[in-house]
Structure 1
């Protein structure tokens, strides 16, 4: 059928997969044709990358299996260009001639990666948790280094850095693990939850160096402001966010961090036929801008899918509303802390620690796959909170930048 509405989703991470399976179910009687593009056929659980790096074997989830029965076409390849005028995506599929996928609606869900460009030597000498293959390689290196009692430095005191430092220290007691951060780890949490986090890091033998700035990463050390050098047999970089350049290079309006600027319905402000979701999008609420987490990403995917369906049916697209609920942090396999939050991610009084927090965190980490499987059969909500009064205020528009790429902050 020539008149079938063509939807192309770029990226099969947490948000891209959610948008795809929800679209497949909700458009099954509308005659749409949905294509999902991703460089690998393996679904990457980014919430568990620190576990892979620590040497743990995780389940191997395949994207075609997750899409079974949905009618979605999966294309294994990397999107290299978007022709916004002709509405086509060029995809490198490993053959001499790239594939060109025409679209009527595009869902941009390419996410982000760790920015190693801000500090000299980070790109050359530090590892990241962006790629599962690299994480498997890290597991081998950590094991080898532990035999000789080597030094490991984790740069970045955000949630990713804290989880990685704890996991590595617990899995390899022979390593000397140092967590280096400009800010206090757990600074976004309440006092009691933060105190538990620090007690757990201390119990695991992690040395915390807060309030310091890394000026250079060397092959065998990390240089700090003031001239101090920390010996480091392996440096893990977890701070800073790098947006892919594809959006800006293609002509989509982006902000000063390279994120696609969207309106209240998550459509590109420059090209309304493009929806941007997850941490590839600059999504603003009345209380401020959303930061990239799975907790906020899945609801953007759900909303975009529903908005596309409403548009196909000639109905008005509703504004996106979201509020944070929690900050779940694993501290190895036997401990965790959960800070419950207000809509703007500021801490509430309540928090959870110990065994129940471990179970809670595991439920959170495993929930996306459960949502995908359920969403193939029924409409399941991925949004825990709409934010209440905090999201009823109109959001301030994001500033649009001509810069193709920029940096962000810790997860």
Structure 2
């Protein structure tokens, strides 16, 4: 069985490792395709933007010791009828099973000026460029657009690392709105203590070279704007004729196969995965289990078995608030908040435990020491 995994983020790397571990003894051949040679820890890009230098991991080093073949290049087309993918416009790779793990990117289309004038976290280099820009400032304003988890983590990280700068967090909703009332109140106190100016209930009309214009005409001047407000899937899957949802994510069945092309699995942010409580939203917490499940499903196919349905429940919302604080909201399996939460140094230790470097976990997956339920928690 020739297996191609597109995308080498957390989810794609997990799927590739698991697929190799489950199929190589039965002749499975796994090829991993990614445009960058770097394994990017996307969960930590806000630390990179704040000037912290993180460990540099090359994909070839991560997969060393396995039979996984790494191909560096950008996938430009998928032909699901011929079972082929085109890399960099001129190289064709054939497959028997495809795992689509090309996650979402920042929505730079919906708001004018974002693509030209805002920084995003779509790759490591953009976070490095933002860090270089802020490092050269002694005073001024940084606008963070988006009050979700990424926006909050970024605002607190930047405010802590650059106390001389004014950090303005712009959000349509109250930051941390998915959390419980007490955890959200703690989050608000921490941001106040860091001097972050929070403006909720506002919407950015356009991003300009020197700041942002809000709906209504108000201009907020800024030396740098970080955009974390919304994501979309790349058009690659839709262009290939795969059935996608309104956000461009591949619609999958209960075992994570494309509903229109069952020889294609989709995982992580790239997939619209339905559970009894609704469609799961893209996070590392939900993405890694989909990668594990896809690998298990491919292993079942290699043995002539039917894959089992995918089941997942959320457990927590871990949020770092700079390097010195954090808040962990525990949740029900549908991601609604429970009463319990932790803060301060205990939250820091917890966050580090659950979102530290994934390399040890990937090594365990490669060795077959991680059971399929390990990351599902409450599923």
TM-score normalised per structure 2:
0.97
Superposed CA offset, 1:286-335 (max 9, x none): 00110000000000001111011111211121110000000000100010
Give yes or no for the alignment of 1:351 onto 2:341: yes
Tell me the distance in 2 between the aligned counterparts of 1:356 and 1:101.
Answer: 48
Q: Aligned to 1:322, what secondary structure does the other structure show? A: coil
- In the alignment, is the contact (CA less than 8 A) between 2:251 and 2:258 conserved in 1? yes
Name the structure 2 match of 1:139: 131
Name the structure 2 match of 1:243: 233
What's the Cα RMSD here? Answer: 1.2
Superposed CA offset, 1:148-182 (max 9, x none): x1111000000000000000010011110000000
Give yes or no for the alignment of 1:50 onto 2:46: yes
Name the structure 2 match of 1:39: 35
- In the alignment, is the contact (CA less than 8 A) between 1:321 and 1:386 conserved in 2? no
Tell me the distance in 2 between the aligned counterparts of 1:163 and 1:288.
Answer: 26
Name the structure 1 match of 2:303: 313
Tell me the distance in 2 between the aligned counterparts of 1:122 and 1:62.
Answer: 30
Superposed CA offset, 1:166-225 (max 9, x none): 000100111100000000001100111111111111111111001111111111121112
Which region of structure 1 is more displaced relative to structure 2, 333-342 or 360-369? Answer: 360-369
Give yes or no for the alignment of 1:370 onto 2:378: no
Superposed CA offset, 1:44-68 (max 9, x none): 0000000001100000111111111
Q: Aligned to 1:26, what secondary structure does the other structure show? A: helix
Runs of 5+ unmatched residues, structure 1: 389-411
- Where do 4+ consecutive residues of structure 1 move more than 4 Å? none
Shift of 1:350: 0.5
Give yes or no for the alignment of 1:330 onto 2:330: no
Runs of 5+ unmatched residues, structure 2: none
Name the structure 2 match of 1:108: 100
Shift of 1:385: 3.4
Shift of 1:379: 3.2
- In the alignment, is the contact (CA less than 8 A) between 1:325 and 1:384 conserved in 2? no
Q: Aligned to 2:26, what secondary structure does the other structure show? A: coil
Name the structure 2 match of 1:391: none
Q: Aligned to 1:223, what secondary structure does the other structure show? A: strand
- In the alignment, is the contact (CA less than 8 A) between 2:103 and 2:269 conserved in 1? yes
- In the alignment, is the contact (CA less than 8 A) between 2:23 and 2:298 conserved in 1? no
Counterpart of 2:273 (choices 283, 294, 302) is 283
- In the alignment, is the contact (CA less than 8 A) between 1:298 and 1:383 conserved in 2? no
Counterpart of 1:12 (choices 8, 13, 16) is 8
TM-score normalised per structure 1:
0.90
Count of aligned positions: 378
Tell me the distance in 2 between the aligned counterparts of 1:16 and 1:305.
Answer: 10
